[in-house]
Amino acid sequence: MTSSLNTSQGTLDGNVLTLNGMTSDAMEGKAVPYAMKLIIVDKDHHTMEW
């Protein structure tokens, strides 16, 4: 867990937003990559995978 600001870049393919970025690992004290996927099911529902 961290309270640092993360930035990411990604693509939107249909209803799936895929983001990639770097975040800080508080235990290791270094930057590590991460990926996040946001799936838009409909206007009221979405799924987020981290």
Q: How far apart are CA 48 and CA 16, in angstroms?
A: 10
pTM above 0.75, yes or no: no
Range of the domain at 26: 7-49
Place of tokens 């590590």: 32
Instruction: Flag whether 35 is in a domain.
Output: yes
pLDDT of residue 1: 60
pLDDT of residue 41: 96
pLDDT of residue 20: 97
Q: Which region holds residue 46: left if phi is over 0, alpha if psi is between -120 and 50, else beta?
A: beta
Instruction: Flag whether 30 is in a domain.
Output: yes
| 1-46: pLDDT as tens digits | 667 778 899 999 999 999 999 988 888 888 889 999 999 999 999 9
Kindly calculate the radius of gyration of the chain based on its CA atoms and give it in whole angstroms.
13
Instruction: Flag whether 14 is in a domain.
Output: yes
Q: How far apart are CA 32 and CA 29, in angstroms?
A: 10
Instruction: Flag whether 27 is in a domain.
Output: yes
Q: How many domains does the chain have?
A: 1
Question: Is the CB of residue 4 less than 8 Å from the CB of residue 24?
Answer: yes
Instruction: Flag whether 1 is in a domain.
Output: no
Instruction: Flag whether 2 is in a domain.
Output: no
